[in-house]
Chains A and B, each alone.
Chain A
Amino acid sequence: MLFFASPLFADSTLPPSRWANQQLPDPRQEAAATALMQEIRCLVCQGQSIADSDAELAGDMRALVRERIAAGERPEAVRQWLVERYGAWVSYRPPVEPLSWPLYAAPIALLLAGAWLLRGRFRRKA
């Protein structure tokens, strides 16, 4: 029998955490929580943020974010706490490090390269 070597993502039979899908009563806190949730990567469906993902772990992470912000923690502190556990990959706003600066530099570099390739087109016809 072949079993997957990586964790299989079946679902539990328990309901979602209360604060996974329920908004915080304070609108400013909810706005801060939502903004953060949209920048935290779901570890199960890694192309989505936890705000978008239906995975149970994403729901529990949303509950964690909401509970901590409701308790008064700053969003940046919550983000940092998650990065300490999962690494920079969990945040959609990775810090500019020796390894990740190309992420920010590449678009600019490509634009400049494209402009250089097209330099001939912008001259008047002789």
Chain B
Amino acid sequence: MSRARFLPLIIFGLLVAAGVWRLATPKDDRVASQLEGQKLPVFALPPALPGKPGLTSADLATGTPRLVNIFASWCVPCAAEAPVLMQLKRQGVPIDAIAIRDKPEDVAAFLAQYGDPFTRIGGDQRSQVQIALGSSGVPESFVVDGKGVIRAQHIGPIMEQDVPGILQAMEEAR
């Protein structure tokens, strides 16, 4: 007999420890794209608004790394990210965008209000290219190298503290 009677207590202790651990280290809910290291799927998006070219996968395989920003005018953190994107643009990072589920007039208003760092903006009104890229929300950004291979993904808005990481990823994509 004897020591077996502590078994339920030990099991209970392990369950409590598991609970405490998970409370201290919350699960990361973000779903990353599995396409890192792979070539971009072929796509061709029309312009998200008049006056800007649309975006195709061929535009992202021109020999220099580019940053692809997945955003929407109705996305609040995208507004927070806008000044950082302008800063990256000033530092010489070429940025293209995909606007998710957006009307042209809303995209125009967003760019007028928050600035326009984008060379091209593709309109993805039914999220089909977003899904093809393995992106699960807005905003997200992909670093794509000169051959059209996805080298890095940043989930969520690019904030000040993320800039060095993005610049390094762009550098490594050369």
* A interface residue numbers (CB < 8 A to B): 1, 3-14, 17, 43-44, 46, 56-57, 60-61, 63-64, 82-87, 89-90
Minimum C-beta distance from A87 to chain B (A) = 5
Please state if B134 and A86 are interface contacts (CB–CB under 8 Å).
yes
Minimum C-beta distance from B101 to chain A (A) = 4
Secondary structure at chain B's binding surface: helix, strand, loop or mixed?
loop
Choose, from B53-61, B137-145, B163-171, the stretch at the interface. Answer: B137-145
How many angstroms between the C-alpha atoms of A13 and B102 in the bound complex? 7
Q: Which of A3, A4, A7, A89 has the most CB of B within 10 A?
A: A7
> Which 7 pairs, one residue from A and one from B, show the smallest C-beta to C-beta distance?
A7-B137, A12-B101, A85-B134, A60-B127, A43-B136, A3-B80, A17-B126
Q: How many A-B residue pairs have CB under 8 A?
A: 92
**A87: chain B residues within 8 A (beta carbon):** 31-32, 34
* B interface residue numbers (CB < 8 A to A): 29-35, 72, 74-77, 80, 100-103, 106, 125-128, 130-134, 136-140, 155-157, 159
**B101: chain A residues within 8 A (beta carbon):** 12, 14, 56
Nearest A residue to B127 via CB reads A60
**A6: chain B residues within 8 A (beta carbon):** 29-30, 137, 155-156
Please state if B157 and A5 are interface contacts (CB–CB under 8 Å).
yes
Minimum C-beta distance from A119 to chain B (A) = 13
Please state if A3 and B157 are interface contacts (CB–CB under 8 Å).
yes
